[in-house]
Amino acid sequence: MNKLLIYLGVLSGIVLFASCYNNKKDISTPTANSLAAISFRDDVVPIVTSGACGCHNNGGTSVIQFSHAGPTVDTIFYSTIQARSGVFAAMIASPSTGHPGEGGIFFTPSQAAVISTWIAQGAKDNYVPPAITGPVTYTTNIVPIYKSVCKGSSCHGGLGPTLDYPKMVSDKATISSMMTSSGATGHPGGPISLDATTTSTFLAWIAQGMPQ
């Protein structure tokens, strides 16, 4: 009996691991009209948060997460997804080797068509956030964005410099350039992708005098 339970446990683990790295079933074929109106948040994000990239969702901190249901329930890191457009392109071009981690991870033909079209259209975030009218402070609004968008082992707080309130205030011109260009210019480490919510929040904070 014990041997049977152990066997079933191992088998379940193998199936779970395999399902994380395979997404072979295609659902539908995108039409020309739907491909002409690709929405980052409506079309691309659902693929990335539920398909071939499933191992980056709801996992531990050892992987770069695209979304999780942990302390910040149902949080999607839009900037992180947008910044990986080059990785997605490589995965589509070479399904067996394009993924930077282990395993042959790939998109279905329909998913690849959607993501390829989005990349060809500039890999932009089409979301337009509502105007920010209330107070925006470093502690309440900027720190959470910094922790989820800017901080990481290969980014700020890791290989890059740690940014705190005095540092951000002194780098006002740099941050302004980054936010007005959605990360295309101004970032000392090279172009990055910043979603509309991030840029509008930072710009509102700067406009209000960068209160702490």
- C-alpha to C-alpha distance for 36 and 196, rounded to whole angstroms: 21
- C-alpha to C-alpha distance for 205 and 209, rounded to whole angstroms: 7
Write out the residue range of the structural domain in which residue 181 sits: 138-207
Domain boundary among 76, 93, 120: 120
Give the CA-trace dihedral at 41, 145, 99, 68, to 10 degrees.
-70
Phi, psi of 156, deg, nearest 5 = -70, 135
In angstroms, how far apart are the furthest CA atoms of the chain? 68
**110 in the same domain as 18:** yes
Domain-embedded: residue 65: yes
**156 in the same domain as 116:** no
Give percent helix, percent strand, percent coil of the chain, each to the nearest 5.
50, 5, 45
**143 in the same domain as 83:** no
- C-alpha to C-alpha distance for 179 and 202, rounded to whole angstroms: 7
Domain-embedded: residue 131: no
**150 in the same domain as 90:** no
pLDDT digits (tens, 9 = 90+) for 29-83: 666 666 777 889 889 988 888 766 767 766 655 556 676 655 555 577 787 788 7
- Residue 9 pLDDT more than 70? no
**107 in the same domain as 9:** yes
Domain-embedded: residue 132: no
Which residues are registered as beta bridge partners of 156?
A: 151, 160
* Confidence at residue 206, expressed as pLDDT on a 0 to 100 scale: 96
**116 in the same domain as 17:** yes
**8 in the same domain as 87:** yes
Domain boundary among 120, 146, 178: 120
pTM, whole model, 2 decimals? Answer: 0.58
**146 in the same domain as 87:** no
**110 in the same domain as 15:** yes
Domain boundary among 120, 155, 170: 120
What is the DSSP secondary-structure string of 182-196?
TTSSS-TT------H
Domain-embedded: residue 128: no
Q: Assess contact for 193 and 85: CB atoms under 8 A.
A: yes
Number of domains observed in the structure of the chain: 2
pLDDT digits (tens, 9 = 90+) for 186-209: 998 888 878 888 899 999 999 999
> Count of H helices and E strands in the chain?
10, 2
Domain-embedded: residue 93: yes
**103 in the same domain as 176:** no
pLDDT digits (tens, 9 = 90+) for 71-116: 555 577 787 788 788 888 988 888 777 777 766 677 888 889 999 9
Domain-embedded: residue 172: yes
**115 in the same domain as 142:** no
Domain-embedded: residue 133: no
The type of residue at 49 is T
**107 in the same domain as 11:** yes
Mean local confidence (pLDDT), 143-161: 81
Rounded (5°) CA angle 150-155-158: 120
Q: Assess contact for 183 and 122: CB atoms under 8 A.
A: no
Residue spans of alpha helices (H) in 22-128: 32-36, 45-50, 78-83, 85-93, 109-120
Q: From the centroid of its chain, how far is CA 14?
A: 27
* Confidence at residue 6, expressed as pLDDT on a 0 to 100 scale: 46
Q: Which of 87, 58, 79, 73 is nearest to 199 (CA)?
A: 79
Confidence of residue 24 (pLDDT cuts 50, 70, 90): very low
Domain-embedded: residue 151: yes
Show the tokens assigned to 149.
């968008």
